[in-house]
Chains A and B, each alone.
Chain A
Amino acid sequence: MKVSYFALLRDATKKRSEIRGRPASTVRDLLRDLAAEYGPNFARWILKDGELAGFAIILVNGQDVRGLQGLDTPLTPESDVFIFPPLAGG
């Protein structure tokens, strides 16, 4: 599974993208793994009360998870995931 990070998430992870050898089964599982690995700030930027923060965006294979099954969107070892922190706006 490939996971790419945007903006301040790159500062937290120190990388633009990575291939994760231990695939998570859902987006929620992936975020839990990433928060454990990269620190609580990672989750704080992305999650609010356990759900996707208002203007954070997660794409799975190019599709916004809000149009799929949200944080319960299933992932496979072939999934291509983009994680964007909340927008700063135009």
Chain B
Amino acid sequence: MAIRVQAGDFDVGAEYAAFTAGRTSVGGVAMFVGLVRDIAGGASVSAMTLEHYPGMTEKQLETIAEEARRRWPLDDVLVIHRHGRLEPGDRIVMVATASAHRDAAFESCRFLMDWLKTKAPFWKLEATSEGERWVEAKESDDAAAARWAE
């Protein structure tokens, strides 16, 4: 299991290659890559700055990844999350899950993203055509996370 919070970009192909290298028991890998969108709430977005609290953020991401491993039979989990100033089209996050079976890989990948959206300690400042604004929690994200309640 690898959790990385970093300012720099990542290479999806290289991450996938490293994630799967030598894993002959894995039957499927599910991956999600989140990007910065150029529009939010009807306003055009020129940049987004993600703040985090070093130490606490990594710990919480580990807790979320451990929860995925508890729920599904996973061979491995990878979470990469960027912080700092990002522009439309930039990669923000990558989640990959590896399992013997595709259902576990698909479901756990979606679970990880739903929980990251609501439980990962990141705060986003959007620079928009209407000025700067902090992104507040979305009810739709809460609803997405709630469907995984046990």
Residues of A within 8 A of B (CB): 6-8, 11, 54-55, 57, 59, 82, 84-90
Contact = CB atoms under 8 A, between A and B. Distances in A.
Interface of B: 34, 51, 53, 56, 61, 81, 92-93, 113, 116-125, 134-138, 141-142
B141 A89 contact: yes
Contact of B137 (A6, A55, A59, A84): A55
Dominant secondary structure of chain B at its interface with chain A: mixed
A55 B56 CA distance: 14
Given A88-B134, A90-B81, A55 B123 contact: no
Nearest to A57: B121
Contact of A90 (B56, B116, B142): B116
22 contacts: A6-B53, A7-B134, A8-B134, A85-B123, A86-B136, A86-B137, A87-B120, A87-B122, A87-B123, A88-B122, A88-B123, A88-B124, A88-B134, A88-B135, A89-B116, A89-B119, A89-B138, A90-B34, A90-B81, A90-B92, A90-B93, A90-B116
